[in-house]
Structure formats: structure tokens, C-alpha cells
Amino acid sequence: MRIVVKVGTHAIAAKSGRPDNAALKRLVAQICALRANGHEVVFVSSGAVAAGVEALGLSARPKNVSEIQMCAAVGQARFIFQYEKLFAEHGVQIGQLLLTHYDFEHHTRAHNVKNALGRLLEAGIVPIINENDVVADEELKGQTFGDNDWLSYLIAKLVRADALVLLTTVDGLLDAEGKRIHEIKLFRNISRLVRAGEKGNLSKGGMASKLKAVRAAVQSGIDTWIANGRKSTLVPIFEGKSVGTFFPASTIG
């Protein structure tokens, strides 16, 4: 099975933005366990800007584009350094891809991304993908990947993934009483079923961003989950256990 795993900023970073080593170590171990079980994994990771915020001593994610770019440049190096060490402990190599909307809007560039990902997976290398905030101008256009939620969908579609998992800081989609919804079969009136989500001051995502990506993914034939990235949820999901919220492929309405 080919799986795209996306983790949000707050699932792998402390409130200050500093990479949470315990969370990263747990997540990497789960990804490596999936690989050991015969799955191919493409990993989409947020967190670079937040890491830069902490490293530069800022109190919150900046709004100025050039400052966001500065944070991304500093923070991305921090995160990829951590990932390289943690995956190496499992004997796994990683490869980094930094992408923007432009890479999906132009056929040749999208084809090159697809080929690169395919070759990395064939070689047993885990691709780690993030939005290239250093050069992206989507902030200026009001068109972002939403803490990589939409990016993870685009990647899943591009590589023809069987499954997409969006990891966040809650146990899944929660109803009005705060209880986990195990499965969503129809999107119709979903806003009446779920609790409004909030995003933190270090990211640009939120539950609305995730649901947009989920809807596109399931309509593209990709089974999708929203689950808690601060718990060991990945392996149980693919062992058939009820973890997170499951959105079966072709969910419409």
C-alpha cells in the first residue's frame, strides 16, 4: 500500500515552536514500522516556520512575508537535521522536497516531482515534503497549502496513493460534545456534526483546511483519516483498528 502521511505543526512542535524530539521520535518510529510491514510512505511535514520562530526568538508566527521566509529558511534546516538523525536510527534514508503551487500547475514540473518521488520510493528512501515558504508567493495571493493539508492531497493524487493520513493534535473529527466521530460517509451537513476547529499561532491550518483536503482526496478515490499525531496512531490505523476519523474513498454529498 502507498500511504501519504501529513503531520501538522502543533503535533511535532512545542508551544515555543521548538521541534518536540519525543513527538518526532515517536512519529518516525511509526513510519518506519509501516515500511517494515511492506508499505510505501511519503511523508509531508509542517513545522519549519514554527522552528524558525523559536530559533529567532519571536513570540508568534510573523505576518510579513519576508519574515515568514526568514523563519522558514532557519527552521527547515532544524527539522530536516532532526529527521535525518531519527530515520538513520532505523537504518532509513530520507530525501527532501520543497514545493509550491507552481510545481503542480505546470505539467512538466508536476511530472518531474512525480518521477522524483517514484524513484525515491523505489530506492527505499522516505521522501519528506514541505511547502517551500522561502520562495512561495502564495501568502501574497491569499492562496496557501493550509499548513500542508492541501499539499498532502496534491501529493497523494500525484503518486496515486491508496491512503492519506492527516495527523493533528486531536483524536479525529469531534462532534458538538467533543466525542470522536469514528467514520464520515457523507459530507452533507458535516458542519452541523462537528465542533469548530481552531488553529494555533504557529500554523496556518485548522480543521476547515483539513476537511477541504479530505473531501478532495476521497473524491479522488483515496481512503483518508484524520488522527492524533501526538499518539501512536499510524500502525493501528493500518491494522484495521478504529483510530481517528475515517473517510472512505468516494465519500460524496
Helical residues (DSSP H) of the chain, grouped into ranges: 9-12, 21-36, 48-55, 65-88, 102-105, 107-122, 138-141, 149-158, 190-193, 207-219, 234-237
240 Cα distance to chain centroid: 21
Cβ of 9: how many Cβ atoms within 10 Å?
26
Domain ranges across the chain: 2-247
**Ramachandran angles phi, psi of 163, nearest 5°:** -150, 150
Q: What number is the average pLDDT over the span 61-87? A: 90
Q: Tens digits of per-residue pLDDT, 17-44?
A: 788 889 999 999 999 999 999 999 999 9
Confidence of residue 242 (pLDDT cuts 50, 70, 90): very high
Q: Tens digits of per-residue pLDDT, 107-160?
A: 999 999 999 999 999 999 999 999 887 886 554 444 555 568 999 999 999 999
On whether the CB atoms of residues 214 and 235 are closer than 8 A, the answer is no
Whole-structure pTM value: 0.89
Burial of 252 (C-beta count, 10 Å sphere; 0-12/13-18/19+): exposed
Give the pLDDT confidence score for residue 245 in this predicted structure: 94
Q: Which residue has the cell 460524496?
A: 252
What is residue 195's DSSP assignment? P
Q: What is the CATH number of domain 2-247?
A: 3.40.1160.10
Distances in Å between the Cα of 55 and the Cα atoms of 8, 50, 78, 104, 197 are: 19, 9, 9, 31, 28
